[in-house]
Amino acid sequence: MSFGRDDSPYLVFGDFAHFFLQQLQAKEISKENEGNWLQASLHVIDQMLTSADPELENLIQVGVLEVLDGHPDALMLVKSNLSTPSQVKFEQWIRISQQI
């Protein structure tokens, strides 16, 4: 039993999104630091957006993309580094989120 701590996957991925934003703000993105955290982070987002498991797709959309939604530069960085299938899923999410 965990007291005072919620390890819900949505909260964990929300923390991941906040980490992502903090890293973007703290570090000038360059080829030297991209290889470390940025490419790994983008790979996780890419893989989850195209997961065959709809819960994983929802987790990345709600836990990460919704947090990044107020940060257009971060969203554009994510989009520009996604595979083609993930870009399609990203665009679907954008259309749906703009309707809400």
Report the number of distinct structural domains present in the chain: 1
The SS3 call for residue 6 is coil
In which band, very low, low, confident or very high, does the pLDDT at 94 lie, cut at 50, 70 and 90? very high
In a domain, 4, yes or no: no
Helix locations, 1-100, DSSP H = 9-26, 31-33, 39-49, 54-60, 66-68, 72-80, 84-99
In a domain, 67, yes or no: yes
In which band, very low, low, confident or very high, does the pLDDT at 49 lie, cut at 50, 70 and 90? very high
Is it the case that residue 31 has pLDDT exceeding 70?
A: no
The SS3 call for residue 34 is helix
State percent of the chain over pLDDT 90: 69
59, 91 Cβ separation under 8 angstroms: no
In a domain, 61, yes or no: yes
54, 60 Cβ separation under 8 angstroms: no
* Domain boundaries, position 15: 9-99
Q: What is the pTM of this model?
A: 0.82
Look at residue 2 in the predicted model and tell me its pLDDT: 46
In a domain, 3, yes or no: no
Look at residue 64 in the predicted model and tell me its pLDDT: 96
In a domain, 91, yes or no: yes
- Over residues 56-62, mean pLDDT: 94
Is it the case that residue 84 has pLDDT exceeding 70?
A: yes
In a domain, 94, yes or no: yes
In a domain, 31, yes or no: yes
